[in-house]
Structure 1
Amino acid sequence: MKNNSEKVFLAHIVAASENNVIGANGDMPWHLPNDFKYFKNKTWGMPVIMGRKSYEALKESLPGRINIVITKKTDFHPKDALVFNNIEDAITKAKESDAKEIFIIGGGEIFKQTIDIVSRIYLTRVHATIEGDTYYPEINKNIWKLVSAQSFPADDKNNYPYTFEVWEKNIDAS
């Protein structure tokens, strides 16, 4: 059990295009294996919280992580995930782990509902304008500060250029 004085970061981890698209027809509209590796390395051993549609898009629970799904559907019972009907209960359960970071991994509605309560955003910015139907909320630069950015060109495996960005709440913002 964690000592209550330890800080647990609540974070978003997401890939979004220049126009903030994160999904199209229930899937990711790009192929970036390096982003998958980044996602796996950041979230391994940590609780991941997601909406039902995001969970179903994965086809199965993410190994090596506590999978927590938020849904209002009372008949949804995946074998390798915990299910809650609200964000607050999901976060409370995730905090019972010994993890120092809890990741919210989607989808669009879950991101929108939690943008004000997270303290960090791991954003893979895909450098393209993409058509889609699911969006990440706009990052308010009066509230958020870019603390690191690492850019990569498109290559034979990653079909778009991209940047791994880390944003943290600006403590000077009031």
Structure 2
Amino acid sequence: MNVSIIVAVSDNGVIGKDNQLLWRLPDDLKRFKQLTLGHPMIMGRKTFESIGKPLPGRTSIVVTRNADFSHEGVVTTHSLESAIEAARQIETDEIFIIGGGELYRQAQEIADRLYVTEVHTEIDGDTYFQIAEPALWKETERSVHEHDERHSFKFDFVNYSRKADN
């Protein structure tokens, strides 16, 4: 079973501010849905709260330190390790880590794939993402998308796989 990180990040490493996404890229949302549909998604509590509800067709697993947190339709865990174990109970070939910043940092140690949307802008934010050890990853695909009437920024879809010798 593959563990995959999916993230949209600006040129200066920003992924969010005040628990919100900072851009609207319809093709990125479409890609997110296509990739994650039918697979468990692991996220931090703040990421879940920014979404507001479990997304249809996917199991939402929320990692939180808040022992009182519960929400209908989600699995609650208290560590990335227990979230991965919960996801492994579901018949699937891929688990997605969808944020936030702390889970992304932890998950890079165990991830097999990265699905990165590089948003070509520099923007102010309070949550960041960077590939911690770029030498461990091989770019396997890149798709360039120009700025247009539906997308406020140019962006690239970039897929990475962990190098086999690591």
The answer as to whether partners of 1:49 and 1:103 remain within 8 angstroms in 2 is: yes
Percent of pairs identical after alignment? 38
Partner SS for 2:27: helix
Matching residue of 2:99 = 106
1:163 aligned partner, one-letter code: D
Matching residue of 2:33 = 40
Matching residue of 2:19 = 26
Rounded to whole Å, the distance in 2 between the matches of 1:86 and 1:141 is: 25
2:96 aligned partner, one-letter code: F
Runs of 4 or more, structure 1, over 4 Å off, are none
Partner residue of 1:83 out of 65, 76, 81: 76
Q: Deviations over 1:48-84 (max 9, x none)?
A: 0000000000011111100000001111110010000
Matching residue of 1:167 = 160
Partner SS for 2:56: coil
> How many aligned residue pairs are there?
166
Is the deviation greater in 123-132 or in 137-146? 137-146
Rounded to whole Å, the distance in 2 between the matches of 1:142 and 1:113 is: 17
CA deviation after TM superposition for structure 1 residue 140, in Å: 2.7
The answer as to whether partners of 1:20 and 1:138 remain within 8 angstroms in 2 is: no
CA deviation after TM superposition for structure 1 residue 98, in Å: 1.1
Rounded to whole Å, the distance in 1 between the matches of 2:100 and 2:47 is: 6
User: What is the TM-score of this pair, normalised by structure 2?
Assistant: 0.97
Is the deviation greater in 136-145 or in 20-29? 136-145
Rounded to whole Å, the distance in 1 between the matches of 2:47 and 2:76 is: 13
Partner residue of 1:67 out of 57, 60, 80: 60
CA deviation after TM superposition for structure 1 residue 167, in Å: 0.6
2:29 aligned partner, one-letter code: F
Partner SS for 1:109: helix
User: What is the TM-score of this pair, normalised by structure 1?
Assistant: 0.93
CA deviation after TM superposition for structure 1 residue 165, in Å: 0.5
Matching residue of 1:116 = 109
Matching residue of 1:13 = 6
The answer as to whether partners of 1:9 and 1:100 remain within 8 angstroms in 2 is: yes
Rounded to whole Å, the distance in 2 between the matches of 1:9 and 1:73 is: 28
Partner SS for 1:62: coil
Unaligned runs of 5+ in 2: none
Matching residue of 1:4 = none
Matching residue of 1:153 = 146
Unaligned runs of 5+ in 1: 1-7
Taking only aligned residues, the RMSD between alpha carbons, in angstroms, comes to: 0.9
Rounded to whole Å, the distance in 2 between the matches of 1:122 and 1:71 is: 24
